[in-house]
Amino acid sequence: MITDFSLTINNIIILVTAGISIYAFYNHELMHKWIFSPYETRYHRQYYRFITSGFLHANWMHLFFNMFVLYQFGAAVEGLYGYYFNGRGEYFFVMLYFGALFVSCLPSYFKYHNDPGYQSLGASGAVSAVLFSFIIINPFARIGFIIPMLSFPAVVWGIAYLAYEYYASKKQYDNISHDAHIMGAVYGVLFTILIRPTFVVELINRVANYF
């Protein structure tokens, strides 16, 4: 995996997100102003919350997990975009990430815009988009998240992730916006295919050759 920390777009996003999140842990005014509130967004026209909420996290573990996954896969996706798009890779990566921040909030916006008590935060939707962009480009890369020796192809992790998020979204036993994770993943897949449709052909060929 990635071991250096040069000032790529991905790493700048990580640094800025970590800095703002940590600051907001101790600044409740900023947390209140930037968190995603569908009610405030709709009735007070605070549309900036679609983006600013992605720079906030609930706690240290939430922040660490999102930034760890982004550090691993964001660097890979940014590098792959640079390879395939010849000078436009950084531009497309920014579109992928910030587009996912916005799109992943849409399910909550339409579902809870009349609920003044509902709030959500975190970069998980954008991180999901980055992860699934990687899966579309390199579906059989071996990934071992916790125990490296227990690694599986990226596409297996992706299917398991979506299955869990779908199950959890139906049960609604926690305060996590699972719909945002699913929407981010869908956006990552569609965006990646849109900017280079031949990824679909290459994906089909890789699957056929694998089996």
14-36 confidence digits (pLDDT tens) = 999 999 999 999 999 999 999 99
158-172 confidence digits (pLDDT tens) = 888 778 777 766 665
Quote the mean pLDDT of the chain.
88
> What pTM was computed for the model?
0.89
Which uninterrupted H or E stretch holds 145? none
What is the predicted pLDDT for the residue at 127? 93
**156 vs 103 pLDDT, higher one:** 103
- What's the token pair of residue 25? 């842990």
CA nearest neighbour of 31 among 98, 99, 122, 101: 122
Q: Which fold has domain 9-210?
A: Rhomboid-like fold (1.20.1540)
What is the predicted pLDDT for the residue at 1? 46
Q: How many CB atoms lie within 10 A of CB 150?
A: 9
Output the CA torsion 147→127→195→107 (10° steps): 130
Residue with tokens 């920390």: 5
Residue 131 contacts residue 158 (beta carbons within 8 Å): yes
What is the predicted pLDDT for the residue at 106? 96
Return the SS3 of 125: helix
